[in-house]
């Protein structure tokens, strides 16, 4: 009995929430939602994944990741096509260093295609991406969903109400329109998909153009403006801790 009373008394002295650690803070959550529908053949899918992996090996992308006060972002990758076909290829990964970014690049490089075929259910894909953001075990004010694809919605859940719910939740929706099959896709993404703080659409002429486009997109999404990150010092010294260890020791 005395032991029970002692444990109860001890619990009263603990700060609220001590039993559950606070979620780690990051500068941004980013879901990369990659089109894996029938219009994307194996070579085109490979180009998407190779482009993403190359982007995370890029030093300017590393600098963008390091630009916020937390010097960290959390990233997940999802494939999508039909209404019930959404698969997480890379679950949430926190990137705090160039080494983390290179590991993520390697993971993307070796992730197999999980969906092969199906239609273009943008509304369903966005709904799943929103749930991923809302259930992520991190704390941040910047929440971003990055959808890349080569076609407008042609089946599945209506896109408009899902988009509205995402915007109400404070999530920024960006698009990368690959226009080799639908030349007006950029305009469709701009009017029907993107929205939220600092949202934008980038255009890739084809899948071969995807690598450069996704690099530009990640830099633009992850770079925190100086006005929003007063602690940041954009100098070689400020980024030294983000550089690979072998570079820091030279």
- Residue 242: pLDDT band with limits 50, 70, 90: low
pTM for this predicted structure: 0.84
Separation of alpha carbons 85 and 93, rounded Å: 22
For residue 8, is it within any domain?
A: no
Residue 53 lies in a domain: yes
- Alpha helices, H only, the chain: 2-13, 42-55, 59-65, 98-110, 122-135, 159-168, 185-188, 210-222, 245-248
Which structural domain range is residue 179 located in?
24-248
For residue 187, the domain's CATH number is 3.40.50.410
In the chain, the number of structural domains is 1
**pLDDT, tens digit, 9 for 90 and up, residues 67-113:** 999 999 999 999 999 999 999 999 999 999 999 999 999 999 999 99
- Position 208 scores a pLDDT of 87
d(CA 46, CA 96): 26
The DSSP 8-state label assigned to residue 173 in this structure reads E
How much is the pLDDT for 243?
Answer: 54
The answer to the question of residue 212 being in a domain is yes
pLDDT digits (tens, 9 = 90+) for 174-184: 999 999 999 99
**91 domain residue, yes or no:** yes
Mean pLDDT over 55-76 rounds to 96
Residues 4-20 pLDDT 10s: 444 434 344 445 444 56
Within a domain: 113: yes
Q: Does residue 5 lie within any of the structural domains? A: no
The answer to whether residue 132 sits within a structural domain is: yes
Within a domain: 16:
no
């Amino acid at each position: 009995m005395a032991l029970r009373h002692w444990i109860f008394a001890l619990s009263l002295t603990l700060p609220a929430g001590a039993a559950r650690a606070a979620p780690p803070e990051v500068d941004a959550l980013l879901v990369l939602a990659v089109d894996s529908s029938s219009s994307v053949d194996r070579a085109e899918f490979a180009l998407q994944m190779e482009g993403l992996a190359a982007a995370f090996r890029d030093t300017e992308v590393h600098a963008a990741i390091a630009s916020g006060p937390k010097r960290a972002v959390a990233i997940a990758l999802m494939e999508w096509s039909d209404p019930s076909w959404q698969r997480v290829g890379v679950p949430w990964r926190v990137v705090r260093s160039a080494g983390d970014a290179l590991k993520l690049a390697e993971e993307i490089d070796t992730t197999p295609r999980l969906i092969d075929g199906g239609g273009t259910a943008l509304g369903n894909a966005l709904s799943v991406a929103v749930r991923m953001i809302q259930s992520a075990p991190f704390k941040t004010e910047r929440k971003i969903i990055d959808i890349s694809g080569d076609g407008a919605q042609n089946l599945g859940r209506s896109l408009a109400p899902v988009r509205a719910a995402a915007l109400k939740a404070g999530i920024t929706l960006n698009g990368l329109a690959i226009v080799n099959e639908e030349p007006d896709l950029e305009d469709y993404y701009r009017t029907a998909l993107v929205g939220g703080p600092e949202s934008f659409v980038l255009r890739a002429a084809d899948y071969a153009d995807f690598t450069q486009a996704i690099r530009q997109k990640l830099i633009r999404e992850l770079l925190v403006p100086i006005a929003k990150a007063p602690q940041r010092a954009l100098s070689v010294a400020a980024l030294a801790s983000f550089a690979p260890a072998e570079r820091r020791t030279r």
